[in-house]
Chains A and B, each alone.
Chain A
Amino acid sequence: MIGLSAQPLDPEALVRAVKTESHGAVVSFLGTTRATSPGDPRPVAALEYEAYETMAVAEMETIAREVQDRFGPLGIAMVHRTGRVALGEPSVAVVVAAPHRGAAFDACRYAIDALKSRVAVWKREIYRDGDAAWIANTAP
Chain B
Amino acid sequence: MVRVLAFARLRELLGFGERHVGVADGTTADAMWSRLAQDVPQLAALRASTRFARNGALVDGAAVLHEGDELALLPPVGGG
Q: A116 to chain B: which residues have CB within 8 Å?
A: 77, 79-80
Given A52-B5, A120-B7, are A137 and B72 also a contact pair (CB < 8 Å)? no
Contact B74–A135 (Cβ < 8 Å): no
Task: Report, as a range, how many residues of chain B touch the other chain.
Answer: 10 to 19
Q: B40 to chain A: which residues have CB within 8 Å?
A: none
Interface flag for B8 (CB, 8 Å): yes
Give how many A residues have a beta carbon under 8 Å from the other chain's beta carbons: 27
Interface flag for A106 (CB, 8 Å): no
Contact A55–B8 (Cβ < 8 Å): no
CA of A123 to CA of B75, assembled, Å: 11
CA of A116 to CA of B5, assembled, Å: 21
Contact B9–A123 (Cβ < 8 Å): no
Contact B72–A52 (Cβ < 8 Å): yes
Contact B72–A55 (Cβ < 8 Å): yes
CA of A49 to CA of B8, assembled, Å: 9
CB nearest neighbor in B for A115:
B79
Contact B79–A123 (Cβ < 8 Å): yes
Contact B80–A91 (Cβ < 8 Å): yes
Contact B8–A50 (Cβ < 8 Å): yes
Contact A52–B74 (Cβ < 8 Å): yes
Q: A119 to chain B: which residues have CB within 8 Å?
A: 77, 79
Chain B residues with a Cβ under 8 A of chain A: 5, 7-9, 11, 49, 53, 56, 72, 74-80
| Shortest beta-carbon contacts, A-B, top 10 | A121-B79, A136-B76, A122-B8, A123-B78, A116-B80, A134-B9, A31-B80, A122-B78, A136-B78, A134-B8
A-B contact pairs, 11 of them (CB 8 A): A55-B53, A80-B80, A92-B80, A119-B77, A120-B7, A121-B77, A122-B7, A122-B8, A122-B75, A122-B79, A137-B78
